């Protein structure tokens, strides 16, 4: 291979977030081994739950691809994970980026018997499932920021993007997208629009990507089974227990640009944020919440 091709590959690895070291007189090596997804192992572990696993090397967005597959009849509990997303989607039209071999990006198709209008609080219940699974892996002090950012020490460790497929009036099919910064949070700094951290920092130990993904899928399966029957109510207390800003003074930026200020009083049974303002207790259905520091 020519020197130029080698340099091209090293540059590409750098763009994917993979650290490559140059070893004088010998060549190049990865700074750390790459942990890749193991479809066969994941599929064997999750098949007893009825979860169908698909792993792709590269995709535009696991949510976008799974929405297409859902439209073409993909079964309930299809889980699509990818090593690399070229157009990972974040909430509010933002981009979601990862680091190759050091992030998790996956989507789970869940077909509910109820219509979309009866799924309020779904993304909050998903947040509870993720926090529970990661807590069991050793993450201490994870918090949820309304509606569903996963935080550690106030920095973002993961995000959830739920998109609906098909007919809005009939039984709902939800594509539940999850992105987790597993390690290498420092390489993501400044790229997700907010301060970031990673799961290994919160656990204080090295984790195995496939194990983390399997643990998340198992807990999601448990929580979504209950959510499908009973809605958000059984998860409300658990959500509030790990609410990052419970009873603190926050600001809410609404879609129309209005800013509301008040104390965050938790969530109601539909998953709406309860904001105590001078004008009384308001139910917030969408918006960006931030802490009013030193207010
Ligand atoms: C957020 O903005 O906090 C939501 C981030 C969600 C990212 C995940 S990564 C897997 C799935 N596919 C996507 O394109 N987005 C979600």
Q: State the Cα–Cα distance between residues 44 and 49, nearest whole angstrom.
A: 10
DSSP character at residue 51: P
Candidate from 96, 99, 156, 182 with most ligand 1 atoms within 8 A of CB, to mutate: 96
Among residues 156, 183, 218, 236, the one annotated as catalytic is: 156
Which atom of ligand 1 is least distant from the CA of 98? 9
Which atom of ligand 1 is least distant from the CA of 85? 14
Q: How far is the CA of 177 from the centre of ligand 1 (A)?
A: 5
Low-confidence ranges of the chain (pLDDT < 70): 185, 294-295
Q: State the Cα–Cα distance between residues 275 and 261, nearest whole angstrom.
A: 8
- What angle do helix axes 209-230 and 233-241 make, rounded to 10 degrees? 130
pLDDT confidence of residue 294: 55
Q: How far is the CA of 178 from the centre of ligand 1 (A)?
A: 5
Q: To the nearest 10°, the Cα dihedral for 122, 56, 40, 211?
A: -50
Q: State the Cα–Cα distance between residues 50 and 79, nearest whole angstrom.
A: 10
Q: Is 202 in the pocket of ligand 1 (CB under 6 A)?
A: no
Angle formed at CA 211 by CA 209 and CA 212, multiple of 5 degrees: 65
Q: How far is the CA of 224 from the centre of ligand 1 (A)?
A: 18
Token pair 């640009």 is found at: 257
Among residues 41, 91, 94, 191, the one annotated as catalytic is: 91
CA distances, 182 to each of 122, 125, 192, 202, 220 (Å): 24, 21, 14, 10, 18
Which atom of ligand 1 is least distant from the CA of 158? 3
Q: How far is the CA of 161 from the centre of ligand 1 (A)?
A: 5
91 as an active site residue: the answer is yes
pLDDT confidence of residue 295: 45
């Amino acid at each position: 291979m020519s020197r130029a091709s080698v340099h091209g590959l090293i540059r590409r690895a750098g763009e994917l977030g993979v650290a490559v070291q140059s070893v004088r007189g010998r060549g190049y090596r990865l700074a750390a081994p790459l942990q890749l997804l193991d479809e066969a192992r994941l599929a064997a572990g999750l098949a007893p739950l009825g979860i169908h696993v698909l792993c792709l090397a590269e995709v535009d967005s696991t949510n976008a691809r799974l929405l297409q597959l859902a439209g073409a009849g993909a079964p309930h509990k299809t889980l699509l994970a990818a090593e690399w997303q070229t157009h990972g989607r974040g909430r509010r039209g933002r981009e979601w980026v990862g680091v190759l071999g050091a992030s998790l990006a996956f989507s789970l198709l869940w077909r509910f018997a109820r219509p979309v209008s009866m799924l309020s609080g779904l993304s909050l219940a998903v947040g509870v499932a993720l926090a529970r699974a990661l807590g069991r892996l050793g993450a201490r002090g994870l918090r949820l920021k309304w509606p569903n950012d996963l935080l550690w020490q106030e920095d973002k460790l993961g995000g959830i993007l739920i998109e609906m497929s098909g007919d809005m009036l009939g039984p709902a099919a939800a594509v539940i997208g999850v992105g987790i910064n597993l390690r290498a949070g420092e390489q993501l700094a400044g790229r997700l629009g907010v301060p970031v951290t990673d799961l290994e920092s919160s656990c204080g130990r090295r984790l195995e990507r496939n194990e983390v993904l399997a643990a998340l899928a198992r807990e999601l399966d448990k929580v979504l089974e209950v959510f499908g029957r009973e809605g958000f109510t059984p998860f409300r207390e658990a959500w509030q227990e790990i609410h990052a800003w419970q009873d603190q003074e926050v600001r809410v930026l609404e879609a129309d640009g209005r800013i509301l200020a008040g104390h965050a009083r938790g969530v109601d049974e539909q998953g709406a944020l309860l904001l105590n303002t001078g004008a009384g207790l308001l139910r917030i259905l969408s918006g960006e919440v931030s802490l009013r520091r030193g207010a």
